[in-house]
Every structure is written in structure tokens, then in C-alpha cells.
Amino acid sequence: MDDGAEAEAFGDPGFAWDDLLDTIADGKVVPVLGHELLEADYEGERTTLQKLIAQRLATSRGFAIDARRHFELSDTVAAYLEQSRVRPDDPYPLVTRLVRNLQPPFPIPLALEQLAAIRPLDLFVTTTPDDLMARALDKVRHRGNEVTRRLAFSLKQSTAAQAQAMDEPRDGVPVVFNLFGRLSTLPDYALHEEDALEFIHGLVSRDAAPPDWLMSRLRDRVLLFVGVHLPDWLERFVLRTVNRGPLRIDHRTYHIAREVEPSASAVVLFFQRFGRDAKLNVYRGSAVEFVGELHRRWKERVPDDEVAPPQAEGRGSVFISYAWDNRPAVERLHQAILDLGGDAWFDRKKLLPGSDWEREIRAQIRQGVELFIAVLSDQTENKSRSEGVVFEEWSEAIARSRRFKWPRTFIVPVVVDAQASRVDPSRYPSLMRTFPDFERFTFGLAPNGVPNAELLKALEEQIKLIRMAEARP
């Protein structure tokens, strides 16, 4: 590391903003995001999602812990695992439920929306298991409609999910890669340091290899670490994993911004000693402050950088059609389909009949979507047939469903009433009279949006059939 880089690494107030902005404009920067950015006001308190869930986990299990700042969840999970009769896999579904059942849901942090507004950033690596960055991109760039491609590294990834990930992203479609997995009821994401070690080992050993195009971009672009807090030894391990050769001959540039002053951290000292050709630019201050300043400077440089309208080709193959009252349940159902490897999407805004986006959705139902999930509930039953775009969507789907032959199906009606313990179509007489074709479909059950085992199996089978059809020449 040369003298100038060393000065930057030790907190020179003259952070290399122009260098970073130039590289972003060239499309050569990959932000790597950490827990510190997931900060928002929640129930009257400024907190991070990690800290909030750590507190609720400890409270729900009746213990207290003095956790390290920025390692609250890892330390709390470790303390939970030390309790008697707690099995190693117990924390994963518990933490996932705590996140998904937050009422109100944790808001999209402003810092993530500001990053999403910097349009040349098209690939984001997150070290957290949530979908907040993807949601920020969809909100800012795509009017709340789900376009962002979501990939997650997994040590137990299904063949279908692996095949889906191999395709290089299309222009204009941003990608979010969850490096340590995505929230799941299975132990398939990292909750503590030992988990993170196994994920990085999986990357290095290629036992569960991510797509080549992704690793190539991580190794060829400038990395911007924002709000990432990892143990020093693991941080160096991650850096070595995303480099083509030893760090001692590393000529790359790294930008680092996080609250705990990184200038004296082990990774900076490591580069001083063993990676002198690398250049480190370190921001003195918090990650949230850094992103706010980056956003301000980018808007000064490119004041007319407006986001593009949503494009039909960004849609996924599984569409969830629902009445607005069922939105919370649909969020959970949507995540469950993503966990199965399905590229599911749904409209996140209340549609008006005749709007451009409503017409685009109907066009997708007619020829783009491969699996249509019709969400039924007491609220849907009570909705007037003359109101709600949802029923127009169902009519389009039924018309197309007649072209599908077994074992493929097109429509899966799913009951999401919280108290439903079994599927009973007679509970919805008005809907069944209006849509008698539903009688020939197999209904699924997902109380409050959480699919039961039978529905999960049926959805997984249909997703596999979709992938097989896509793979045919």
C-alpha cells in the first residue's frame, strides 16, 4: 500500500469521492452491504433489524445478554444455543418467524433507497438474510413492482434454483445476491460466525458453487463495503475468496464505510503488511452517513438520473393474484415460493382498472406467467364482483388455463384465512359461483400466508416442471 493509500486508510478526511463516483459511473462498483445499513425508526425507536430481532429472541426465550454492538444477533443466537435442550437447528425457524411476523413490518431503510437511486449500481451483495435491498430497488426503480432478481447462496441449493441462477442477468434488471443465504425455516442461512465460516468454505471449495458470471463480476469490479461487520479473520477470508490470486499481489481498490473506525482494524493492518499494492479508501463515520453523502454527491453529478419504468420482461414465471386486504399473508406466501426456488412476483400497489400497469399484468397472465396463484380468503369472498382488478386477473388466468395439460397446471387457488385448518371451497360460495372453473383445480392451504406441507410439495413440483420446460431447446 503506497503512502497516499495509507493516509486514506487511516482516516484522511479527503475521502476519494471522485474516484468512487467515476468508477460507479463506469458501472464497475459492487456494493457489499451489512447490518449497519438496516437502520430505521421502529415503534418509536431508532434501531437496526438485527438488534430488534436479537432483543425479541432473547425476550421470547427469557434470557438477557450483553451482546457486542453490530454482532447482536450472532451473540444472542450463540447464547440461545447454550441453553439446555436447544438443538442446533432450532434458531433458524424461530428467527425467520420473528422477522416475517413483525407488525408492522420493518420498513425499508432510507439508506437502501438512496443506494437504489444510484442507477449504475446493478449488482448488490448483502451479508444479511433479508430482502430489504431488493424491495428498495423495486420501490425506487420499478414503482414497487417486483423486477429485481434475487439470488441467494445456499449450501443445499436445489437443482432448479442452481439452474435458474446460471443465467446472466438482463440489462436493466438489478441483482441482489444474499451471500450468507436467505431467511428460511430451514438451517439454510447464516445466523452466527460458525455459519458464516461454512458458507465461505462452501464458496471456496465450490461444493455449492455460485454462478460463474457472479464470481467473475465480484473478482473484476471494485468492491464497496458498506456497514459490513465481520470478525477480522472472516473478513480476510471473504476478501481472499473474491480475488483471483493471493492478497499479497492484489492490485484492486476497496472502499470501506462502517461505524466502528476501520482504520486500525486488522484487515487494514493486514493490507499494510501483505497487500501493499492494494488501495483502501476508508470513510470516517457511519455507513448511513456515508450513503447519504454518496447519494447527495451522485445527484449533484447526475441530476437527471431518473429511474426507468418497469418493463414486462422483468417479470417472473409465478404470479400471485390477490385482493389488497390479504397483502400481509401474500408477503409470506411470496417468500415461501422464493425459498422453493420460484421466481415469484406480485403487484405491490393498489391497482386501478385501466391503468398501464394493470394492462401489462393482464398481458403477462395471457402469455408470460407459467404458474398463477389465486389467493382466496373471507375478504375476497366479501368483495363485490364489480370492484377489484383481482377478478379480471382470475378471468384471464382461467381462459389461459385451458391450454395446459397434466402434469402441468396453471392455476393453484390458495386459501390464506388465518383460522383455516382445511380446504373447503364451499366456504366461498360467491367466488365459486362466479368462477366455477375453480372446481377442477386442486386447492392449497396457507393459513396467514404460510403454506402447509402439501402445498409446498405441489408448488415445488410445478416449479420443477417450469424449469424443465424452460431448459428444453
Eight-state DSSP code of residue 353: T
Question: Is a pLDDT exceeding 80 seen at residue 19?
Answer: yes
Question: Is a pLDDT exceeding 90 seen at residue 389?
Answer: no
The confidence score (pLDDT) of residue 6 equals 40
Instruction: Look at 129-143, 265-279, 448-462 and tell me which has the smallest mean pLDDT.
Output: 265-279
In 307-367, at which residue ranges do the beta strands (DSSP E only) sit?
318-321, 344-345
Q: What are phi and psi of 292, to 5 degrees?
A: -60, -40
pLDDT band, residue 165 (cuts 50/70/90): low
Domains and CATH numbers, the chain: 3-38+105-301 (3.40.50), 315-471 (3.40.50.10140)
What percent of the chain shows pLDDT beyond 70? Answer: 85
Residue type, 231: P
Closest alpha carbon to 365 in 410, 421, 324:
410
CA-to-CA separations, 140 to 30, 55, 148, 299, 360, in angstroms, rounded: 18, 30, 11, 14, 19
- Cα 345 from Cα 147, distance rounded (Å): 8
> What element of type H or E holds 125?
strand 123-126
* Mean pLDDT computed over every residue of the chain: 83
Q: Which of helix, strand or coil describes residue 345? A: strand
CB atoms within 10 A of CB 350: 9
- Cα 252 from Cα 239, distance rounded (Å): 11
CB–CB of 131/150 below 8 Å? yes
Q: How many CA atoms lie within 13 A of 4 on its CB side?
A: 6
The confidence score (pLDDT) of residue 23 equals 95
Question: Is a pLDDT exceeding 60 seen at residue 375?
Answer: yes
Selected residue with higher pLDDT from 434 and 303: 434
**Which three cell numbers mark 325?**
386486504
Closest alpha carbon to 411 in 459, 364, 456, 363:
459
What percent of the chain shows pLDDT beyond 90? Answer: 46
Instruction: Look at 43-52, 81-90, 163-172, 298-307 and tell me which has the smallest mean pLDDT.
Output: 163-172
**Which three cell numbers mark 327?**
397483502
Selected residue with higher pLDDT from 302 and 349: 302
**Which three cell numbers mark 78?**
450463540
Cβ-based burial of 106 (10 A; exposed 0-12, middle 13-18, buried ≥19): middle
Q: What is the mean pLDDT of residues 128-144?
A: 90
**Which three cell numbers mark 260?**
466502528
Q: The dihedral of CA 412, 418, 420, 425: what is its sign?
A: negative
Q: What is the mean pLDDT of residues 348-374?
A: 71
Q: What is the mean pLDDT of residues 138-149?
A: 83
300-318 exposure pattern, b = at least 16 Cβ within 10 A, e = fewer: eeeeeeeeeebeeebbbbb
Q: What are phi and psi of 33, to 5 degrees?
A: -110, 145
Q: What is the mean pLDDT of residues 77-84?
A: 93
